[in-house]
Structure 1
Amino acid sequence: MPSVTQQHHSPSVPPAPEVASHRAHVAPTEIAAGVVIGRASEYFDFFVYGIASVLVFPSVYFPFADRLEGLLYAFAIFSFAFIARPFGTTLFMTIQRRWGRGVKLTAALFLLGTATVGIAFLPTYATLGGASIVLLSFFRVLQGIAFGGSWDGLPSLLALNAPPNRRGWFASLGQLGAPIGFLVASALFLFLHTNLDGRDFLDWGWRYPFFVAFAINVVALFARLRLVLTEEYTRLLDEGELEPIETMTIVRGQGYNVFLGAFAGLASYALFHLVTVFPLSWVELNTNEDVNSILVIQIVGAAVAILGTIASGRIADRIGRRTTLGVLAVLIGIFSLFAPFLMGGGLGRQGIFIVVGFGLLGLSYGQAAGAVTSNFETRFRYTGAALTSDFAWLFGAAFAPLVALGLSSRFGLVAVSLYLLSGTACTMLALRINRVLGSRD
């Protein structure tokens, strides 16, 4: 076998220093910045819709129903985007194979922005009748398709280029987009809800965040295109074999990894909407508390989640990503036992539920995406990671507000505990199966 010196002078082998410098053009921190920018803009769109599902849509699009039914109708439509996401991923992977990454990303983000701003222009039920509900559902499905198509491969690229001893840290940075998006969406709704009277807010004020979402998407689009279409990024994506693969090929070859990854983070994804969307609906429906106070608490909670997400990276690099996810699932299960006592109390106890829940969410969500998707063979990781995220949100979060509010209104807040406990059980089972399969390999 030739020595390193011999390799260096061999004309048929590229010099090692050139290879190293070639791969050093793009630092993992730069990739992480692209991931945060992209994900924050997308989740801002989603959480604008989620908050409006509580504060606006029952009155504007379901005035014929009582308050509970209106919320449940709004939450049912809320789930449509998560159902549509895997189909969007499949569709836009096909577009990328045919026309390239830039066309795919541009089309997906413009579709996401158009669907979101379409909701801003949507006439009310009083003006358009049942057709307004059909159009609201249509735009929500388009949001989901576009969100699935907006996968740019940067999280997978980040995972492949992160130093081995800091993979947990860089995985957590890739997850910051969701709490940041929620924080900005909540702050904007709080500002409008506080400074406008109820009539103005329901007439036109609620539409403003949807316009803002379109503007943010345009800015994020150019920021991301600047990254993913450069020669250095294209080369890194190609070297990492991060290319779109047909969905059926993934299902046949790595389907077990998709579903293991989806269920491994279920406790975290279930908790997400139970500390964001659900508390707003519960307070609005069952208490006399000011919704603005809950929004303030949730903004504080989102900040705590951001810190928890960052901290999860430090913890995971010490004890392992899967161990971190398992420990946090147990803590979420314990936390769920206190849900009836905390959410059933006054503003102080509800605030504890929200802030502590956000803290646990940050610590667990920070590692929810990367703990098991690292099982994918390299060539499957690009599409596999996208589908894993789609199904994790679908199984864990899509129906959380609908199920939690519907069951708790009928059987009490113990239903919230049972929902979170089921997520904990699924996470522990998936991690156990993953460990068994890993030991066999």
Structure 2
Amino acid sequence: MYTPASTAPSGHGFESSVSLSGAHTDEDVTPGEIAVGVIIGRASEYFDFFVFGIACVLVFPGLLFPQMARLDGTLMAFAIFSLAFVARPVGTALSMAIQRRWGRGTKLTIALFLLGSSTAGMAFLPSYADAGLTAIAAIVILRIGQGLGMGGSWDGLPSLLAMSAPKERRGWFSMVGQLGAPVGFILAAGLFAYLHSSLTPAEFLSYGWRYPFFVAFAINVVALFARLRLVVGQSYAERLQELELQPVSVRHVLRDEGGNVVLGAFAALASFALFHLATVFPLSWIAMYSEQAIGDVLQIQIIGAILAAGAIVFSGWLADRIGRRNLLGTMALLIGLFSFVTPWLLGAGEVGNNLFLLTSFVLLGLSYGQASGTVTSNFSPKYRYTGAALSADLAWLLGAGFAPLVALGLSAKFGLGAVSLYLLSGAICTLLALRINRLIEQKE
């Protein structure tokens, strides 16, 4: 039987010696080990996606769409960027079927191999000048492969960590998986910043940009072994069984509790809407409409990501004092207010750009830190594992997947007010979803 983590003294974070089984065995897994596995796994996934997102601005417009204007080429790259988020729910559905038939370890191995090989395959991408439409077809296929792999990488570790935590520290434990986002971004942006500043423009566009995609495969291998050590362990499997964190048919989840899937996605929409508007979109906007050097922008974003990591940690402490949903609602209000000053900041030159980047990363950390699974308690235990994955997929698709494409396209045509409307719509959706969720709880 699981020994509650509350037996550990308060304030010890993840250093608890509590295991996931009562008797000590070599397979016992502590909350600290789960935390490490979660962070490594999520960081590898985010690294893959951020490497692609940065390349959509710095590389792909010239490599794949040289016949187009820079804006049009970037928009085409962002359209390909969005394909992974369309494919992700499909990957989730397929992976749940694989897990039911062959087990969690097999599913995770296939998913991470697909994700890593799709990312590494981009390193060999030919240019449009060399291969024509074949190069574009190749990047489309590889990007869809990334999305399918990401959908299959759901391992239940964040849910296990949150549900195994004492109620009064659930916010603290829930923020752990979210730390993978800033870690992945720091690695991706740092690598691109180094290569971009160390090589000539011709060298960078010829071969320098390919190195981050090779690195992604190595990181995925490390993440695979770190996570497999947990998911194939007996104590881990027993605890998942105990909490009913097992896959079920996606069709059954949508049929029986589809409303909870939608509610869970919309409750996190403010955070997800801000996600790529703080990372990928501003890089493209500043690159095209500002004199600020790309290397400087990436350095400011790295500082912002460090601040975001601190904000994520702080969100865990704060959520345990005011409640996760109260924090999410408060942050949605702040993101909504921030949306009104966004056009002014992005139009105010280098100082305004930097202020936008740093502020947006802090807001992102505070909101995204508690955006995962805030209303998954609405799911019945049988559907919680698959329902949480589908809610996340839908939130990524609606909030983040098309954000760079929509924000850049509309801003170029109508002005930066379009970014305000995008952020504001996400904030409103979050507030409405949290309100509906509260009304449902009151009726029950």
TM band (smaller chain): over 0.9
SS of the residue corresponding to residue 338 of structure 1 reads helix
1:21 aligns with 2:16: no
Aligned-pair CA distance for 1:408 = 0.5
| Aligned residue among 299, 320, 323 for 2:323 | 320
Give the percent of matched residue pairs that are identical in Structure 1 and Structure 2.
60
1:11 aligns with none
Aligned-pair CA distance for 1:348 = 1.1
1:54 aligns with 57
Deviations 1:209-255 (A, max 9, x none): 00000000011101110111111111111111111100011111221
2:103 aligns with 100
Aligned-pair CA distance for 1:22 = 4.7
1:207 aligns with 2:210: yes
**One-letter amino acid matched to 2:79:** A
TM-score under structure 1 normalisation? 0.94
1:3 aligns with none
Structure 2 CA distance for aligned equivalents of residues 331 and 27 of structure 1: 36
1:176 aligns with 179
Deviations 1:42-99 (A, max 9, x none): 1100000000000000000010100000010000000000000000000011111111
Structure 2 CA distance for aligned equivalents of residues 186 and 321 of structure 1: 30
Deviations 1:373-415 (A, max 9, x none): 1222222111111111111100000010001000110111111
1:400 aligns with 403
Structure 1 CA distance for aligned equivalents of residues 418 and 24 of structure 2: 51
**One-letter amino acid matched to 1:287:** S
| Aligned residue among 265, 285, 288 for 2:288 | 285
2:135 aligns with 132
Structure 1 unpaired stretches of 5+: 1-17
Structure 2 CA distance for aligned equivalents of residues 361 and 226 of structure 1: 31
| Aligned residue among 239, 247, 250 for 1:236 | 239
**One-letter amino acid matched to 1:81:** A
Aligned-pair CA distance for 1:159 = 1.8
Deviations 1:351-378 (A, max 9, x none): 1100010000000000111211122222
Q: Per the alignment, do residues 72 and 225 of structure 1 end up closer, same or farther by CA in structure 2, a change over 3 Å counting? A: same
Structure 1 CA distance for aligned equivalents of residues 394 and 233 of structure 2: 30
What's the C-alpha RMSD, in Å, of the aligned pairs?
1.4
Structure 2 CA distance for aligned equivalents of residues 356 and 35 of structure 1: 26
**One-letter amino acid matched to 1:94:** A
Aligned-pair CA distance for 1:29 = 2.6
Question: Contact (CA 8 Å) 1:240, 1:379: kept in 2 or not?
Answer: no
1:367 aligns with 2:379: no
1:216 aligns with 219
Between stretches 251-260 and 186-195, larger displacement belongs to 251-260
1:301 aligns with 304
SS of the residue corresponding to residue 151 of structure 1 reads coil
Question: Contact (CA 8 Å) 1:23, 1:236: kept in 2 or not?
Answer: no
Aligned length: 424
SS of the residue corresponding to residue 374 of structure 2 reads helix
Question: Contact (CA 8 Å) 2:29, 2:230: kept in 1 or not?
Answer: no
**One-letter amino acid matched to 2:220:** N
Between stretches 359-368 and 152-161, larger displacement belongs to 152-161
Structure 1 CA distance for aligned equivalents of residues 163 and 323 of structure 2: 17
1:344 aligns with 2:323: no
SS of the residue corresponding to residue 405 of structure 1 reads helix
